[in-house]
Amino acid sequence: MSDIKIDLKPLFEKLIDKAYCIIKLPDEFPQYKAGSDLDIFCYDVEDISRKVLKYLQESITSNLTLKIINMESQIYIDVMDKDKINFRFDLNGALPTYKNILIKEAFFSSIIENSSVIEKNEVTVKVPSQIDESILRYIEYQEWYGQNPNKIKHIDYLEKKIANKEIEVNKLLDKLYYYTELPKVEENRQVSSNGLTRYLSYLFSMFKKVFKMVKERGLGKTMTLIIRKIKK
């Protein structure tokens, strides 16, 4: 695979007036490693895909080609270097379907409507609010940790944000409780034995107790206890 890279800055300058939100923006953005992708939530995936395709068709070299996979509310735009993906735009017009956690559909629009405009390495982009980013990371951890233990990084992220007081924990818990719930466990379903699943089941069933702990012990101590239990 060659070292050819796409210049992403002009593209996002063209998208500044669009309703979109980049999920889990990489630290190195707008630089990227070959094979990387960018997850983007947007109301109109067809409109955003046209903008992305127009820019790519005008800017990529003859050594790269484009591949589009349209799955109704999700569109992949792959920049191909021969038979390898150089970069993927993963456009989503709705939340993915999760097996281990139930999420209200309205959370998708809440993420976009509450997105923040930031400067990332001299590029202006839209990203989720700190609270929505934290919830999305929690969701990904809950969904995939059993298959990919590396997802513990999302709990580490939450722990750091809480320790640095970058998140209003009351609002985080309130929004998490409102938009999500754990699915009912069928009798023939094998229940995971990992500490996260056990504790999250406890957390949802005892949510009022969590708020009582917050009042009695303060946000910092309560969240420290929660993180410790999750990591066990």
Distance, in Å, from the CA atom of 97 to the CA atom of 112, rounded to the nearest integer, reads 18
**Structural domain contains residue 141:** yes
Q: Is 49 in contact with 91 (CB distance < 8 Å)?
A: yes
Q: Which residue has the higher pLDDT, 203 or 144?
A: 144
Claim to verify: residue 24 and residue 55 sit in the same structural domain: yes
pLDDT band at 4 (very low <50, low <70, confident <90, very high): confident
Q: Is 158 in contact with 134 (CB distance < 8 Å)?
A: yes
Q: What's the chain's average pLDDT? A: 82
Claim to verify: residue 176 and residue 90 sit in the same structural domain: no
Concatenating the DSSP letter of every residue in 123-169 gives EEEEE--HHHHHHHHHHHHHHHTTT-GGGHHHHHHHHHHHHTT-S-H
Claim to verify: residue 224 and residue 142 sit in the same structural domain: yes
Claim to verify: residue 145 and residue 181 sit in the same structural domain: yes
Instruction: Give per-residue pLDDT as tens, 22-61.
Output: 999 999 999 999 999 999 999 999 999 999 999 999 988 8
**Structural domain contains residue 192:** yes
pLDDT beyond 80 at 63: yes
**Structural domain contains residue 3:** no
**Structural domain contains residue 73:** yes
Claim to verify: residue 45 and residue 141 sit in the same structural domain: no
**Structural domain contains residue 1:** no
What pLDDT is recorded for position 50?
96
Claim to verify: residue 198 and residue 218 sit in the same structural domain: yes
Residue 194 per-residue DSSP state: S
**Structural domain contains residue 107:** no
**Structural domain contains residue 110:** no
Closest listed residue to residue 214, CA positions, set 182, 172, 178, 175 = 172
Beta-bridge mates of residue 181: 102
Claim to verify: residue 121 and residue 34 sit in the same structural domain: yes
pTM of the full structure: 0.76
Claim to verify: residue 58 and residue 146 sit in the same structural domain: no
SS (H, E, C) 73-114: CEEEEEEEECCEEEEEEEEECCCCCCCCCEECCHHHHHHHHC
The CA distances from residue 38 to 23, 101, 159, 189, in Å, are 8, 23, 24, 34
Distance, in Å, from the CA atom of 111 to the CA atom of 21, rounded to the nearest integer, reads 8
Claim to verify: residue 83 and residue 188 sit in the same structural domain: no
Claim to verify: residue 124 and residue 137 sit in the same structural domain: no
Termini Cα distance of the chain: 41
Q: How many domains does the chain have?
A: 2
Claim to verify: residue 93 and residue 35 sit in the same structural domain: yes
What pLDDT is recorded for position 190?
42
SS3 7: coil
Q: Which of 99-108, 137-146, 159-168, 218-227 has the lowest mean pLDDT?
A: 218-227
Instruction: Give per-residue pLDDT as tens, 176-200.
Output: 889 987 666 544 444 444 444 444 4
**Structural domain contains residue 2:** no
Domain with 166 in it:
133-231
Closest listed residue to residue 197, CA positions, set 126, 129, 144, 158 = 144
What pLDDT is recorded for position 88?
97
| CA atoms within a 13 Å half-sphere pointing along the CA-CB vector of 162 | 24
Claim to verify: residue 124 and residue 174 sit in the same structural domain: no
